[in-house]
Structure 1
Amino acid sequence: MTERQPHGSARPGGRTARTRAAVLAAAFDELDAHGFGALTMDGLAQRSGVHVSTIRRRWRTVEGVIGDLLAQQGTTIPIPGTGDFRQDLHALAEAIARFYASPRNRSLIEGIVAAAAHDPLVGPIVRDVFAARVQHVTQLVHRAIDRGELPPDTDATDVIAALGAPFYYRLLITRQPIDDRLTHAAAEAAYHAARAGTFSRPSPR
């Protein structure tokens, strides 16, 4: 069975890709300027130069556009492949820190998470996008298991969640800058916990 692509996704190049790029760039600009609450299909059409009927046909709703934007932004964080689990975690933590060093990226996440708390249509989109991203990144944990660096029953999702949690606590709760100390500590804590078997799956009864 062929996997369905997200609304608005397209093969690289061509008019479809240009349309997607224009609409997502417009959504990013609108969020940055006015926040999620002011985001409308008409506003996206005016800013992007793409007809509103095209946007509705491809994404159906504003929430669909935001889901695609979140998915796109998530892919800008590369998945390390150094051949060493500890180095991979540090490289991933540093990439996350660089991503959120951008005020626009930070504002995007802050705004969307805030909207998700109040809009029942946004919450599932945010959860699905983050779940898909975490699942994609778990390949670095599975590679470490294959190399014998981690217990074979390690839950890869829990490892990545533990690495990311300090960043989102800093971003969304304490609202302080992400610094080198946090980046290093997040990677080291996830590494030592994973090596110690903290994230091993419970044995079936």
Structure 2
Amino acid sequence: MEQESRLAGTVRPGGRTARVRAAVLEATRDELVEHGFHGLTMDQVAARAGVGKTTVYRRWGSRAGLVTDLMIELAEQSSPHADTGSIEDDLLANAMAVVGAVTDHRLGATFQAVIAAGTSDAQAVQALRAFYLRRIEEWAKVVDLAVKRGELPEGTDGMEVIRAISAPLYYRLLVTKEPVDQGVARSAALRTLAAARAGAFVPLPA
């Protein structure tokens, strides 16, 4: 995602430029929530942000550029991993963080709009991948800490553990359209923990 972070508009400037970026990204998020990716237009984002259209076109180039920068910003704003000293509590915290995000009116709608965009836009896919990779890498640290404490087997793949917690939540959210609540999140975390303790996430020898 290195090349994506070099898109115009993704550098963190100060002063008026920072205020413009903040206003444009907030407007982008509002437009995504209300109209989805395919209803997102550069002109409407500019109008909503109170910014000249030429500024938006020059700095972000396309709606995909806007979405990419928005996902970068959301990743940078997201909270660090839990550190309770217990892998069970840490994984439960991860599951609750995911369900809190996907069920939030604005944040959840933003994710769903960008995920939908990923079905037809390669740049949206890269933006999503970068966002989730960053979050998975952050939370995988709790697994590494648990291995050091002796709570999980040596060699446990932390990133796969975190993916395994989120997967059933996103499946319900996007595929079956079933409710995603704290009970579902808790079950996902505890099942994943049981599998991890049994060594299911230790890679097999080549």
User: Normalising to structure 2: TM-score of the pair?
Assistant: 0.86
Name stretches of at least 5 consecutive residues in structure 2 with no aligned partner. Answer: none
In structure 2, which of residues 125, 128, 131 is the aligned counterpart of residue 129 of structure 1? 131
Partner SS for 1:164: helix
Equivalent residue runs for 1:53-202 within 5 Å: 53-74=54-75, 75-202=77-204
- Taking a change above 3 Å as real, the CA distance of residues 150 and 49 of structure 1, as seen in their structure-2 partners, is same
- Taking a change above 3 Å as real, the CA distance of residues 189 and 178 of structure 1, as seen in their structure-2 partners, is same
Which amino acid in structure 2 is aligned with residue 28 of structure 1?
R
Partner SS for 1:33: helix
Alpha-carbon shift at residue 151 of structure 1 (Å)? 1.7
Alpha-carbon shift at residue 57 of structure 1 (Å)? 4.0
Alpha-carbon shift at residue 183 of structure 1 (Å)? 1.3
Counterparts of 1:119 and 1:4 in 2: how far apart (Å)? Answer: 14
Partner SS for 1:83: coil
Once the two structures are overlaid, the 10-residue window that deviates more, 9-18 or 86-95, is 9-18
Partner SS for 2:83: coil
Measured on the aligned residues, the alpha-carbon RMSD in Å equals 2.4
> Of the two structures, which has the highest relative contact order with CA contacts closer than 8 Å and spacing of 6 or more?
2
Q: Which residue of 2 aligns with 1:47?
A: 48
Once the two structures are overlaid, the 10-residue window that deviates more, 58-67 or 32-41, is 58-67
Once the two structures are overlaid, the 10-residue window that deviates more, 150-159 or 53-62, is 53-62
How many residue pairs end up in the alignment?
Answer: 203
Counterparts of 1:117 and 1:79 in 2: how far apart (Å)? Answer: 29
